[in-house]
Amino acid sequence: MKKYSRVIKGTIKVLVVAFMILIILNGILNRFDGAYNTIGYRTYTILTGSMEPKIKPGDIVLVKKVAEDELKEGDIITFKEDNRIVTHRIVEKNNNGFITKGDNNNVKDSEIVKENNIIGQVKLVIPKLGYVLVFLSKPIVISAILIIIALIIIWDVFKN
C-alpha cells in the first residue's frame, strides 16, 4: 500500500510541476515579443468556431513566424485584424496580400491580409488545452497550486 501511495504522490508532483512549466512557458511565449522573435513560435487559444471542424474553440495553436513567400493557398495563418488576432485559412494569394476565410464561415474575409499583419503559420493544434491553460493561469489557481506544493514539501520534511 505504501508503494502505491508513493507512486501516486510522485505522479501528482510531476504533473503539477509539468503544468506549472507549461503555464510559465506559455506566458513567456505570449507576453514577450522578444521571446517570439528569438524562437519564432507563439501559442494562441482559439475562442471561436470559425475554423471548425479542423480547429475548435478551446484548442491551442502553435504558430511559427514564416516569410510571406513560404505561404500558399490552403495554409492556416494567424494574423492581426482590427485590433484582434484571427486564425483563418488562405484561400487566395495575390499581389496585394492574402484573402482568408474561416473553414466554418460562408464567405471570405472582407479585408486582405497584408504581410506586416501576419503573425505566422499554424504548425500544430492541441485540442482543448486552451481551456486548461486559461483555468490554470488564473491567480487563484496558481496560488492554490503553490500552496499544495508547499504543503507536500512540508509534509515530506516533517514526516521524515
Same domain as 110, residue 70: yes
137 given a catalytic annotation: no
* Confidence band of 34 (pLDDT split at 50, 70, 90): low
- Kind and range of the H or E element at 28? helix 2-31
In the three-class reduction of DSSP (H, G, I as helix; E, B as strand; rest coil), residue 61 is classed as: strand
* Confidence band of 37 (pLDDT split at 50, 70, 90): low
Q: Which of 69, 103, 109, 137 is catalytic?
A: 109
Is pLDDT larger for residue 24 or for residue 46? 46
Same domain as 97, residue 143: no
Domain range for 147: 129-159
What is the reported pLDDT for 159? 74
Same domain as 46, residue 29: no
Same domain as 114, residue 53: yes
Q: How many domains does the chain fold into?
A: 3
What is the C-alpha separation between 111 and 99, in angstroms, rounded?
7
* Confidence band of 154 (pLDDT split at 50, 70, 90): confident
Same domain as 80, residue 17: no
What is the reported pLDDT for 99? 97
What is the chain's alpha carbon radius of gyration, rounded to the nearest angstrom? 20
Same domain as 59, residue 18: no
Same domain as 48, residue 63: yes
59 given a catalytic annotation: no
pLDDT tens-digit readout, 113-148: 999 999 999 999 999 888 887 787 778 887 887 888
Which three three-digit cell numbers place residue 143? 496560488
* Confidence band of 32 (pLDDT split at 50, 70, 90): low
Q: Which of 5, 59, 69, 88 is catalytic?
A: 88
Provide the CATH number for the domain around residue 78: 2.10.109.10
Same domain as 70, residue 58: yes
Same domain as 90, residue 48: yes
- Kind and range of the H or E element at 75? none
CA distances from 151 to 5, 75, 154, 156 (A): 16, 48, 5, 8
Same domain as 133, residue 97: no
Query: In this predicted structure, which of 10-14, 104-108, 156-160 has the lowest mean pLDDT?
Result: 156-160
Backbone angles phi, psi at 116, to 5 degrees: -70, -10
pLDDT tens-digit readout, 48-72: 999 999 999 999 999 999 998 999 9
Q: Which of 5, 33, 50, 110 is catalytic?
A: 50
CA distances from 30 to 23, 62, 88, 143 (A): 11, 11, 19, 21
